[in-house]
Amino acid sequence: MTVLVTGAAGFIGAYVAKALSARGERVLGLDSFNDYYPVALKRDRARALGAGSAFEIIEGDVADQALLARIWREHAPTRVVHLAAQAGVRYSIEAPRPYVHSNLVGFLEILEACRQHQVQHLVCASTSSLYGQNPLQPFREDARIDRPLSLYAATKGANELMAHSYAHLYRIPTTALRFFTVYGPWGRPDMAPLLFTRAILAGRPIQVFNHGQMKRDFTHVSDIVAGIIGALDTPPTAVDAAAPYRVFNLGRGEPVDLMHFIELIEEAAGRPAERVYQDLQSGDMLETFADVGAARAAFGYQPQTSIEAGVPALVEWCRNYAWPDS
């Protein structure tokens, strides 16, 4: 039986494909290798994390109906971990159309393929951005998510609704996972952990939004991967009359002051940051804080990596990686 991992050259996807392959699963990856950030980083990541593994990555678009038909015809995946998406809160304000193509049309094609081939379990990525400025913390899965602050969050909320409808109509066991600020080696260079780390190591100033008055539930990629695999191994049954469908938060469950996170990077880098304080950006949340009790109860999710352990390893990897120019 084959597991299809979409976004397999992405930050989380490459780690998931490696972990599944390492435990003996037959894994097929799919990735478009788009240029939202340097394609060379994606190819380096796929090579580094795929070295010695048995998984193959097909280059292509999840919105390509004919390609998905060929994948099922030739490889017959029975489970899907759908991580492919156009990411980025701020970029969705500048360039909304890629989000419609990848996150809405692409997800529809994945749902249609899962329907046509009656997959055993679909696990799909969602986001903590859905919670917006909800004052009730920690965020629980039953909180309202109908007030997104960005188009990116809106597309992910639409994904959850689309997934529920397909689970209800076609009895496709489906799990949606809301990720909270993932960081670690091979991470996304558009996110704060690597933006800060690269700039501090290079002696460049960093932009600190909302004058540093923000908190994030920083979660190490290894804990996210453990949560994804735990969820994949525990497909839902019909928890109510509606659908075999569930939603879980995957975070550390420990909000961290942004300034403390920066201080940990400074300590590991061995130099102070030049901080340029800015106002809050459109689409940004003030604080994220995951209640992970549901995931713990369902499949034993238990984050292991503290920021005190995770940040120095990130800085060391960033220091040693030969960053591509484009």
Query: What are the boundaries of each domain within the chain?
Result: 2-180+219-252+289-301
pLDDT of 70 reads 98
pLDDT higher than threshold 90 for residue 282:
no
Tens digits of residue pLDDT in 207-241:
999 999 999 999 999 999 999 999 999 999 866 56
The CB density around residue 201, as the number of other CB atoms within 10 Å, is 16
Determine whether domain 2-180+219-252+289-301 maps to CATH 3.40.50.720: yes
Distance separating alpha carbons of residues 140 and 17, to the nearest angstrom: 28
**Count of CA atoms in the C-beta half-sphere (13 A) of 172:** 28
Angle between helices 151-170 and 106-117 (to 10 degrees): 10
Q: How confident is the prediction for the chain on average, in pLDDT?
A: 94
Tens digits of residue pLDDT in 182-193:
999 999 999 999
Question: Given pLDDT bands bounded at 50, 70 and 90, which one contains residue 242?
Answer: confident
Average pLDDT on 4-15 reads: 97
Q: Which of 15, 37, 131, 152 is catalytic?
A: 152
Distance separating alpha carbons of residues 44 and 260, to the nearest angstrom: 30
Distance separating alpha carbons of residues 176 and 163, to the nearest angstrom: 8
pTM: 0.95
Is 152 annotated as catalytic?
yes
Distance separating alpha carbons of residues 45 and 17, to the nearest angstrom: 12
The CB density around residue 123, as the number of other CB atoms within 10 Å, is 26
